Structure 1
Amino acid sequence: MLKQKALVDVLGQVNTSGVDGSWLFNKEGLLLAYVGSEQKTVASNVSSALLASVWSALERRASDLKETILVLEDGVIGCTIVARSMLLAVKANKKADLGMIRPAPKIYPNPSDPGRFANEIDIQTNIFGLEVDKKTELFQYIVSIKADLTVKKEVVFTKKGKEELKGVCFENGKLFFIKPLEDGFVREDIVDVGDGKSMLPGIKRAIQFIEGPYGRGNNNPAIVIDASKVAFHKEQLVMDKIAEILLKNPTLGIQEFEREKCIPVIRGLDCYSTYSGRTRHLKIEGISHLDASTARFELKDGGNCTESAVLPDVRQRLIMTGMIAADISSKNEILSELGVNVCPEPLMAKGQLLPPNRLQFSTQNTEATSGKWRFSGFFRPAEPPKIWAIYAVGYPNNSFSIENFGKFVSMFMHGCQSKGIRLGEPAESKLIHVDDMENVLDIAGRSNCSFVFVISDDSISHLHQKYKMIERKYEMIVQDMRMSLANNVVIQGKRLTLENVINKTNLKLGGTNYLVMDTKLNDVLVIGVGLSLPTGTSKFVSFGKEILSPLVVGYASNGKAPQEFTGDFVLSPVGQVTISSIEEIMTQCLELYNKCRQKLPKRVLVYRSGSSEGAHGAIIAHEIPLARVAIGRFSSAIKLIYVVVSKDHTYRFFKNNLDNIDTASSSSSSTSSGASRTSSRKADQMNIPPGVLLDSVVTHPACKQFFLNSHTTLQGTAKTPLYTILADDCDAKLCTLEEITYNLCHCHQIVGLTTSLPTPLYVANEYAKRGRNLFTERCMQPVLIGAESEKSTLEKVTDELSYKKKRGLLDRRINA
């Protein structure tokens, strides 16, 4: 604990250049230290109590409050949270610059020159430029109804308000149109999704600063608009609502199981009933009688914010229609008064197309043309297990016969052998009843079986997590496959499905399917860090009646070999924007690298997901220094590059002149949601191809960042990841980072397609999911009871569930 004198000495360093007072106090207003001229009218302890009261009032409106600035008659007070319950306030006079009392802004690595690759491509965006004609003080007004898109929150309108309402605003700039046909949308834009719900069109809006059409060194405001859809309950009679849920006429009577089916859908909905000219607002709690034939439902959030997949040409039309319907234009009276002009046409940008990569298999090299390739013999086949077994799990009447099971076993073994895995006969192969499977796996684990292949009936959903608990217990690899896929292999001869299964088997057993011909990864430790946020179903009673719902942090690295990514997970306290366990993760990965390669890396490249732009400052200030501390324990010469990857943005990128794309050769036909015509176009033909790169014009002027579309889009419109470099000790060229990132998107090893995220981050996200599933399964067993802190309890559970003490699993990509 700091002594009083030490606190005063530290606070005294703040009082300079117009800053004449600083307080350190807790949220209850208890003053710990004050440095400055003692005020005659208000004592410092009274000031701290008043400031704590103001903070508490603001925090009730914004639960994630980090900082506030109070403008007074004689100066300015800045207040920020410095610990869980501690506040720091600094007072400055009127002449002091605001920067003297406000924490330093986020400091990004300086943007470097854009990459220069051979092929350029015209890219249409959803970015609309803004021009401000006059200086105007802008104030933010809340002029729309806001609500969360969750089951627990609802949107309730009065009858008069509904008649006058044009759209409904939600958080994060979402706007949905209640009467879309009146706003220029077409009938096909409203999709019936069952249960009396319809997907209504809308838009998502975000104000961003971009470099603009003149590239580096420029700073231009813009509005980014994307199309969106969400399920709303229809306005209809109660009986019609029930009829759509049950797909029958409810006036003929409903049975108990049908009643149970209806209740979860309609419970909590608002409705209006009219009797004798009087309208009453009611809330449905369940079905208790059937004579509410005049009750009408009001609109409510569907609770499932799932966007329908739309092709790029349809999305472009929805964006332009939504922009007009929301009156986002220079003709808008409010914008006109403020002197803000909105460009009517979206920005056109020049993208670059990265060259294809070459992949090395056992006997030949293959070019990944358009992000696709065919597999050959494995580069390094896995060592075959000495004892292995294969089971089909289901019910007596399932569709997988003994004959089909025998054929699949033969095809699987032959396929493994043809790829180079010298797989012998299984120690046991038979059909197992679902109730006996756990016992069978226990026996296999105790019999030193090292690999079990399981074919599970599609209706079995509860066993997969149990498989993984048993896998960890005995360090016995368990690979699960759906029975319908196995039937497709045997009956329909789907060889590609079997090939993908065998590719996964080789990875799980420790093999390498292919190598990307890239030397840039030599002496580079690449780490992916992914997150799994808690849900309402993941809970763990640790002590007393307290319930823990931890953040699961998955990580993966190439410590074992340059292109082999293995990992683990840790459980961390939830509610933090930074990863407190990053120091432990860096240490584990560096130790693995040093152990397997007998040397230390020259550079550490981290890809981190699960962060918004608003958290960048905290990551730079708190998370990255922890990573540097871990690196410094090994060598001060190791350089760090820290990249945050996000798909949680509003940007969309399209091919130019979509209407002129020749897709006459397409053999499939599909009706795109919201389209006014039937389209025979495929998503992969209409979307931007793999390898499209944008690192200027649309990027933030203060950041070193780029957009890279590395994958083939098979449905809807491409969502291109955004890469923002938060730390770069190497001052690396942007083109080098872009090439490395694109190459890493080829390392998935299971299917012959590039992934949308670099493989280390993709694998890390899978480890985070695995950790969440194991934690959920752990909750169903007797729990630890103790008086430990949350952190120490999570550390114990991490040791219980993670793989760091299971060397037979830690060095393999078991979550392939």
Structure 2
Amino acid sequence: MAPPIDLYKNGSGVSNPHPTPIEPGKAGRPVELQSNIFGIVINQEQKIYRYDVSIFATSRPVEDFSDPTVVPIEIAKKTANDHYSSERKAMAGKVFEMLFDQYADELASPVVVFYDRQSILFSVERLKYTGAMFRCLIKLTPAQAVGPLEGLHLIEVQIKPTAENYEMPLNVYKEMDNSLVAMDKDRTIFQFLQIGLVQHALANPQSFLVFEKGKVYMKNAQVFGVDPMETKKLPDGKELKVGAKYSVQLVEGPKGRDRANISVAIDAKKAAFHKPIPMPEKAVNILAGFNFQRSCNSVQIERLNIVLRGLMVTTTHGRSKKAYKIIKVAFDSSHVITLPDKKISVRDYYQEKYNLCLQAPLAPLICVQAKKETFFPMEVCTVLPDQRVGFAQQTAEQMKETTKECAVPPIRRQTLIMNNAEANEIFETKHGGFRVVTNPMKVNARQLAPPVIRYNNGHTANIDMERFTWKIERGAQYLIPGKCDVWAFLLIVRQPQDIKHYKPLAERLYNEAIRRGVQLEAPVACEVVNFERLEEMFQTMAQNKVDFALMVTDDSLTIQDEIKSFERKYQIVTQNIKLRTAREVLEKGKPATVENLCNKMNVKLGGINYSIKINGNTLLQKGETLVIGLGATIAPPGVRLEGEQPMPTVVGYAANISADVDGFCGDFELVDPKLASDQLIGGLVVQRVIDDWMKMCGVGNAARKRPTSLPKRVVLYRGGVPETAYDKMIQNEIPAIQEVLSKYSTDSKNKIALTYIIVTKDHCTRLFRAEINPSDRANKQNIDPGCVVDTILTSPKFKQFYLNSHIALQGSALTPLYTILCDDCKWSMDDIEEFTYSLCYMHQIVALPTSLPTPLYVANRYAERGRRMVVQHLKNEAAAGVNPATLNFLDEDVKNKIVYKSTRFSNLRVNA
């Protein structure tokens, strides 16, 4: 066992050369695909100039900003708040118009200037002013102080060249440069084009909303010819807006290898927005018609808080139309206000101060962020426009409806892409030294052959190339059947039920498991359990040495997280089935559902359902390759646990370290979110996984014994890494992993080779069939599993490929992008593509390929399980009287109560 490494120790910092593109693969049959990537033609001689912009404003009647009592408004300041962002961009746009109208001789024609309405301005001509900086004061006339600038008196504008990359040629790709240093230039060019592409939307705030990372939404999509069906209303006083994301990227282009072309990927987007309606109407939508002549109970208050917390509102009762951020919805509708001479209820205060008789005096109050905690009646508040629904403001009903409406099949997605592009006039840019090609790129892709599924005793299953699924033969048994001597069948309900109605389900699963070779005794208990006795039930099972519990749970119960928390605490493997599913099996037979439930049971019991063969060879059976998946769940900004405690980053990992070399299991690790951004977790995970590999050496029966030596190679699929962090991975995480591997190597001849692959769906590229029948279902409109692209649409800097491995049954397929940042194995594109595609068939539960390789797919599930375990542990501790704010999830004692290491689950895939 190698000595431990310091998790938070930086890597060598040496910029190791990353693999560059090699000869494209040849395996598979040719398939022509269309993309959503549009070429950008660059003026070869054009230069661009970059400037920093600052805009200050005040409503006070002063001559300049020298008065120290004047606190200026920073109009060009970036903000994550949607309302302030849109408001400031509208203000900056008006200032921009006045500026270039009044000072054209010192600046330039506005048609050659590209301004993001914040702090960045590009020009294709050098601005004409002299000196180090342009500075001017604009005293607004009454005619100018209207609209976005209403109430302002004086504005100061400062424009100066940036310290770096001030003057650059627009075409920086005449000579290929794959160094990390060149990426800084890339980003400057990309930033210019990104701003240029959305310039029309920025100039027309009455029609468009522009947000971060090239997201543009149409305020009224039907004006631009979008079908009304695309913008349906949502629950909770919300609505869908249609838009697009514009992502400038470098691709090889139509001529393939050794070429570099700037392009833009345009993908249709839909997002939920809060409707700008009076707050009482909003509240009635949230509570489904609740009558505010009655007071709210605690459950209703909490539901209001979920949707309204963080929302921006304005008031209607006074002269001032300020914007306020909701902190919470108060339970007490008769909150008392303290005045200098008396205390008075909110209701009486509004009657005396504004002669306003509240129509709903029992409605809860809105508590907003001001100089001090301030309360407003709901009926004097209105939701401000242009606010997207935040992560924490979503309800289950709204999420379900939004997900359904955002699942747009390919033919509709292509229409929406062109709707957005034409509405934003991206094909009409004339003065920026570039133009966008009107037709998206096509690519000659290949469809790889799927592997062969191998069961026990020589039984195999071939993939149906129409449906990309397979069937296990009636007489076939699992490759490695699981084993369980003591298990229980439990029905967990709110109201009493008769267990005899559900025993046939236990019998069907038992018989199916026996038929597939699982070593299973009859259940020691078949009982009905009230959900309030959940932990008591686990305690009883632990006393009776129950190893596995198959549970049927009432659909109305949301106790999955509690079950999994107790599963970890008492180390009893659980499998949960919804009551609705159980009834469908009992009433309709559902043999495929029974088979899937049995597949999951066998995996949870330590079995392996099947292995796979590719080109006549088993993928992992030689035991020379350790395959690791590493994923993470990172809390959205502002999401915290109790008090100010940040949600830890949860890193999940999985590898073929179970009792059989074809089986994947794993765990999760809790990491400080401040340190997780350093991308150094990989070294710790690899060391832990290799230690587990060594512990399992020689395990297994005579026919399938694990290897007795170290792996010859490690293939790591890494999720959750944006392209902007590639340099960190190359400079820090990869050297840290290689340092770990070197400690296990006895000499240079036995060095463990590393292949490190970033996998992401966080990109804008979409792949479509060249010809789509609009009347086909979504799964027939989408491209087939096995389609791989490793040229034209890929980066000229990296060894990279797109691989679509799954069937998209709804919406449009989002094909993962694979970027190889280290390849000691020197694999060909065919080798790594076929290896990766085959791994997508090893999920073991459902007879379908997954969208990601199994180790990464399972790692992501461990990461999500870890996040839910953290939240549930917090609830458990609070219920036990512990102050949640005192819990430190990075403390080893606390972590060891949550993670799976040092338990019997360490080599079981319990989250199957």
Place the TM-score, normalised by the shorter chain, in its bin.
0.7 to 0.9
Matches within 5 A, 1:566-715: 566-575=665-674, 576-595=676-695, 596=697, 597-635=707-745, 636=748, 637-658=751-772, 661=773, 681-715=776-810
Q: Which residue of 1 aligns with 2:487?
A: 388
Q: Which residue of 2 aligns with 1:531?
A: 632
User: What is the CA distance between 1:169 and its match in structure 2?
Assistant: 1.2
Q: Which residue of 2 aligns with 1:435?
A: 532
Match of 1:182 among 223, 233, 237: 223
Q: Which residue of 1 aligns with 2:701?
A: none
Say which SS state the counterpart of residue 855 (structure 2) adopts.
helix
User: What is the CA distance between 1:381 and its match in structure 2?
Assistant: 4.4
User: What is the CA distance between 1:168 and its match in structure 2?
Assistant: 1.1
Change (3 A) 1:502 1:85: closer
Are 1:317 and 2:415 matched, yes or no? yes
Are 1:417 and 2:507 matched, yes or no? no
Cα separation, 2, equivalents of 1:352 and 1:146:
48
User: What is the CA distance between 1:315 and its match in structure 2?
Assistant: 0.6
1:519-562 alpha-carbon deviations (Å, 9 max, x no partner): 34331111111112236898678xxx973532211111113433
Cα separation, 2, equivalents of 1:737 and 1:477:
35
Match of 2:47 among 124, 130, 137: 137
Q: What is the letter of the counterpart of residue 541 of structure 2?
A: A
1:691-720 alpha-carbon deviations (Å, 9 max, x no partner): 110000000001000000000001100000
Are 1:348 and 2:442 matched, yes or no? yes
C-alpha RMSD of the superposition = 3.5
Equivalent pairs counted in the alignment come to: 685
Provide TM-score, normalisation by structure 2: 0.69
Cα separation, 2, equivalents of 1:789 and 1:297:
37
Q: Which residue of 1 aligns with 2:126?
A: none
Q: Which residue of 2 aligns with 1:771?
A: 866
Match of 1:210 among 245, 251, 256: 251
Matches within 5 A, 1:128-207: 128-139=38-49, 155-156=86-87, 160-161=147-148, 165-207=206-248
- 8 Å Cα contact 1:148/1:154 also seen in 2: yes
Q: Percent identity?
A: 30
User: What is the CA distance between 1:584 and its match in structure 2?
Assistant: 2.5
Q: Which residue of 2 aligns with 1:512?
A: 608
Q: Which residue of 2 aligns with 1:565?
A: 664
Cα separation, 2, equivalents of 1:688 and 1:719:
10
- 8 Å Cα contact 1:527/1:605 also seen in 2: yes
Cα separation, 1, equivalents of 2:598 and 2:887:
45
Q: Which residue of 1 aligns with 2:386?
A: 300
Cα separation, 1, equivalents of 2:83 and 2:551:
39
Matches within 5 A, 1:779-790: 779-782=874-877
Matches within 5 A, 1:243-392: 244-248=285-289, 253=293, 256-257=296-297, 260=301, 265=307, 269-270=311-312, 280-281=321-322, 283=324, 289-290=358-359, 297-304=383-390, 308-329=406-427, 331-332=428-429, 336-362=430-456, 364-370=459-465, 371-376=468-473, 377-392=476-491
Cα separation, 2, equivalents of 1:420 and 1:267:
54
Q: Which residue of 1 aligns with 2:21?
A: 111
Say which SS state the counterpart of residue 108 (structure 1) adopts.
coil
Q: What is the letter of the counterpart of residue 193 of structure 1?
A: L
Q: What is the letter of the counterpart of residue 758 of structure 2?
A: V
Match of 1:402 among 471, 474, 499: 499
Range with bigger deviation, 638-647 or 525-534: 525-534
Cα separation, 2, equivalents of 1:578 and 1:274:
47
- 8 Å Cα contact 1:593/1:599 also seen in 2: no
Q: Which residue of 1 aligns with 2:186?
A: none
User: What is the CA distance between 1:318 and its match in structure 2?
Assistant: 0.6
Range with bigger deviation, 108-117 or 707-716: 108-117
Q: Which residue of 1 aligns with 2:171?
A: none
Cα separation, 1, equivalents of 2:866 and 2:323:
43
Q: Which residue of 1 aligns with 2:577?
A: 481
Q: Which residue of 2 aligns with 1:800?
A: 897
Q: Which residue of 1 aligns with 2:140?
A: none
Range with bigger deviation, 290-299 or 754-763: 290-299
Q: Which residue of 2 aligns with 1:813?
A: 909
Cα separation, 2, equivalents of 1:477 and 1:701:
48
User: What is the CA distance between 1:310 and its match in structure 2?
Assistant: 0.5
- 8 Å Cα contact 2:38/2:438 also seen in 1: yes
- 8 Å Cα contact 1:122/1:349 also seen in 2: yes
Say which SS state the counterpart of residue 256 (structure 1) adopts.
coil
Provide TM-score, normalisation by structure 1: 0.77
Cα separation, 1, equivalents of 2:44 and 2:644:
56
User: What is the CA distance between 1:773 and its match in structure 2?
Assistant: 2.3
Cα separation, 1, equivalents of 2:723 and 2:799:
13
Cα separation, 2, equivalents of 1:750 and 1:625:
36
Match of 1:447 among 535, 544, 561: 544
Cα separation, 2, equivalents of 1:412 and 1:680:
39
Q: What is the letter of the counterpart of residue 586 of structure 2?
A: V
Range with bigger deviation, 128-137 or 757-766: 128-137
Range with bigger deviation, 697-706 or 477-486: 477-486
Q: Which residue of 2 aligns with 1:757?
A: 852
Range with bigger deviation, 136-145 or 479-488: 136-145
Change (3 A) 1:175 1:509: same
Cα separation, 1, equivalents of 2:645 and 2:731:
30
Change (3 A) 1:190 1:149: farther
Q: What is the letter of the counterpart of residue 759 of structure 2?
A: V
User: What is the CA distance between 1:126 and its match in structure 2?
Assistant: 0.5
Cα separation, 2, equivalents of 1:249 and 1:458:
25
Say which SS state the counterpart of residue 657 (structure 2) adopts.
strand
Cα separation, 2, equivalents of 1:270 and 1:537:
16
Q: What is the letter of the counterpart of residue 220 of structure 2?
A: K
User: What is the CA distance between 1:731 and its match in structure 2?
Assistant: 1.5
Q: Which residue of 2 aligns with 1:729?
A: 824
Q: What is the letter of the counterpart of residue 588 of structure 1?
A: R
Range with bigger deviation, 551-560 or 625-634: 551-560
Q: Which residue of 2 aligns with 1:64?
A: none
Are 1:470 and 2:574 matched, yes or no? no
Say which SS state the counterpart of residue 431 (structure 2) adopts.
helix
- 8 Å Cα contact 2:287/2:300 also seen in 1: no
Cα separation, 1, equivalents of 2:606 and 2:79:
45
Cα separation, 2, equivalents of 1:145 and 1:181:
31
Cα separation, 1, equivalents of 2:22 and 2:409:
34
Say which SS state the counterpart of residue 359 (structure 1) adopts.
strand
User: What is the CA distance between 1:444 and its match in structure 2?
Assistant: 0.9
- 8 Å Cα contact 1:529/1:553 also seen in 2: yes
Runs of 5+ consecutive residues of structure 2 not aligned to the other structure: 1-6, 54-74, 92-145, 149-202, 334-346, 348-357, 361-377, 392-401, 698-706
Change (3 A) 1:734 1:85: closer
Cα separation, 2, equivalents of 1:718 and 1:139:
39
Range with bigger deviation, 165-174 or 180-189: 180-189
Say which SS state the counterpart of residue 755 (structure 1) adopts.
coil
Cα separation, 2, equivalents of 1:171 and 1:115:
36
- 8 Å Cα contact 2:8/2:680 also seen in 1: no
